[in-house]
Amino acid sequence: MNTLILKAPYLVFLGDANDLLMAKVAKGIAHWRPEKCVAQLKLPGAKADLGLPDLSIQQAADAGAKTFVIGLAPIGGTLPAEWIGLLTEAMEAGLDIASGLHMRLCDIPELVAAAERTGQSLFDVRIPKGEMVCGTGLPRKGKRLLSVGTDCCVGKMFTTLAIHKEMERRGLNVSFRATGQTGILIEGNGVPVDAVVSDFIAGMVEALSPDNTTDHWDIIEGQGSLFHPAYAGVSLGLLHGAQADVLIVCHEAGRDQMDSMDGYLVPDLETVIATNLAMGALTNPSISLGGIALNTMNLSEADALREMARLEVQFGVPVVDPVRTGVSSIVNKLETL
């Protein structure tokens, strides 16, 4: 499991992001760990905004920033060459660098040389740590919840973090298990499943959520979608390794086009639910649907509430928008299991 010890507070880098979907790493950190974020840094023309003070690298360092966090998640996870100078400047100002990109900071000679010269650290979140093992499929004690999606970027991480926070508030025995770069930066540990060799995804997720007491819940962050042409393999390995007792299906109301996949339509909820339950039953025959998390950002309040009520009747499980309504009704159901 990746365990991070990042020095806070952070200067969060938004690059040239036009919206917070492009800067979802930054958005997640600022939302769930606002006390650790001192400022944001944007390139000219960037439209994404976290509501943090806009400071230069030196201004942020003077304000106490200790770590420069790359807050973008571009397709392919590459690091533009023009950013190297900025990262070097940050290290020269006394900041460590943390990145969740697939391109590793430690593989860039200029950054390695700057780190050695300045004494600062480079943190590559997307390098899996620990022994690579194959999944066993053997039952484990404790209870597990996994978020799955109709598509990418529909709220799987937000939903699991919200459920974890509400369960903690109620004093329940619960852990959040991060499986992506943002979740790992928020939680401080986890497994970056999309950087694990495919043979070992299920095994690494088994290790992430090991045997536990019977009253303990692991709330496991989902990735991708079984229906996304690019990322379905990661989603399936995660589903099998999680051996979830409960699935929460995440969907964005009104989205009909798969993320960055022209010509591929978002499947209907009935198909997504049935397929995830069928695939998940391979390693946990008792898997069940625990709720639906509906992202209703494109609906009015009245339309959102009507749609959630309709889906509750259709599927017989709690339906929430973690932002509009919170997740209490889902946690109420979990407390009965």
Phi, psi of 328 (to 5 degrees): -55, -40
pLDDT digits (tens, 9 = 90+) for 171-225: 999 999 999 999 999 988 899 999 999 999 999 999 999 999 999 999 999 999 9
pLDDT digits (tens, 9 = 90+) for 64-111: 999 999 998 766 567 888 899 999 999 999 999 999 888 899 999 999
Look at the block and give the residue holding tokens 């999680």.
242
Q: Is the pLDDT of residue 131 over 90?
A: no
pLDDT digits (tens, 9 = 90+) for 11-55: 999 998 888 878 889 999 999 999 999 999 999 989 999 999 999
Q: Is the pLDDT of residue 3 over 70?
A: no
Nearest Cα neighbor of 128 from 78, 183, 201, 23 is 201
pLDDT digits (tens, 9 = 90+) for 237-282: 999 999 999 999 999 999 999 988 889 999 999 999 999 999 999 9
Confirm if 29 and 182 have CB atoms less than 8 A apart: yes
Full set of structural domains in the chain with CATH: 2-124 (3.40.50.720), 143-334 (3.40.50.300)
Contacts of residue 314, Cβ cutoff 8 Å, sequence gap at least 6? none
pLDDT (0 to 100) of residue 76: 59
Least confident of 73-77, 113-117, 329-333: 73-77
pLDDT (0 to 100) of residue 11: 97
Q: Is the pLDDT of residue 2 over 70?
A: no
* Token representation of residue 93: 């100002």
Task: Give me the mean pLDDT over the 288-308 stretch.
Answer: 97
